[in-house]
Amino acid sequence: MTQSHSPGVRRRRLSAALKRLRAESGMSAADVAKRLKWSSATKVTRAERNEWRYPKPGDVEALLDLYEVEGADRAHLLSLVEEARGRSDWHQYADLYTGPLPELEAEAVRIRTYESVLIPGLLQTPDYAAAVSRASQIVPAEQIERKVESRMLRRGVLDAPNGPRLTAVVDEPALRKAVGSHAVMAEQLRFLAGMAAHYKVTVLVLPDEAGAHPAVDGAFTLFDFPRPEPGIVSVPTAVEALYVEDQEYFDRHVLIFDAVQNLALDPQGSLDLIGSIAAEHDKRA
């Protein structure tokens, strides 16, 4: 289930562009509202915070006129307006996500993820994903089946012609933790090893012997998009994920990811360790 563009991602990009243009103009939100004869600055700030459902073409055109945006830049931003007004393929699962995760995965050209205690979502089996949802005690029992279903569908981005490449660095404890049961874990690790053979997937294991490392504070995911679109960092919390589009924040996490990737085992060494730990789970199942 993929599409040529993701409306939610387009809205975020449009909002970020309008905020940048206003900052470059030197005007405050109140100045903009006054110049456009809008009722309050709130209308401006809501647009810049992506607190709109469907951007209105007339409002965006008025802002672009005020900021004197012409030519290709104007055409690009107006195209975002049209694309942002569509409905995501994922609308039927909107109640399961607090952010734009499925759309980010669908539109990214590269995904880099570090996981400290869990197998990355795109590489989970149904039984493992269900066990994670049950353990969270946040997902209502009646939603777990739909949550698992949506997670399995998300994996389709890896088979899409223009889908992203995925590099996953997984800390060794995530392989040893008996999520669901040892039988569930053995199956999960065998599946993980199989996914490592996918031409768009690289799985690397960060062994315990690496000790403390730059990502010791927790998991995160980097989404890269076609240039010149900025990257996004996703940082999970106990309740929801945070999505940060700040370039400096993104660049710092790229350095952290590069560091843990360099500390991880090579692909074959990672596969060997995954197989060894899967055998241990088999014995305890």
pLDDT in tens, the chain (285 residues): 544 467 777 888 889 899 999 999 999 999 999 999 999 999 999 999 888 878 999 999 999 999 999 999 999 899 988 887 766 566 676 677 777 888 899 889 999 999 999 999 999 999 999 999 898 777 778 789 998 999 999 999 999 888 999 999 999 999 999 999 999 999 999 999 999 999 999 999 999 999 999 999 999 999 998 877 789 999 998 778 899 888 899 999 999 999 999 999 999 999 999 999 999 999 999
The pLDDT of residue 3 is 47
Which two structure tokens, joined as six digits, stand for 52?
């709109």
Distance between CA atoms of 196 and 192, rounded to whole angstroms? 6
Which two structure tokens, joined as six digits, stand for 48?
């810049």
Q: CA dihedral in degrees (212, 201, 265, 241; nearest 10)?
A: 10
Distance between CA atoms of 125 and 278, rounded to whole angstroms? 14
Distance between CA atoms of 157 and 89, rounded to whole angstroms? 12
Backbone φ, ψ for residue 19 (5° rounding): -65, -40
The pLDDT of residue 239 is 77
Share of the chain above pLDDT 70, in %: 95
The pLDDT of residue 94 is 66
DSSP character at residue 200: T
Element at 175 (helix H, strand E): helix 172-176
The pLDDT of residue 245 is 84
The pLDDT of residue 106 is 86
Q: Which residues contact 234 (CB under 8 A, 6 or more apart)?
A: 99, 101, 104, 220, 221, 222, 223, 241, 242, 243, 244
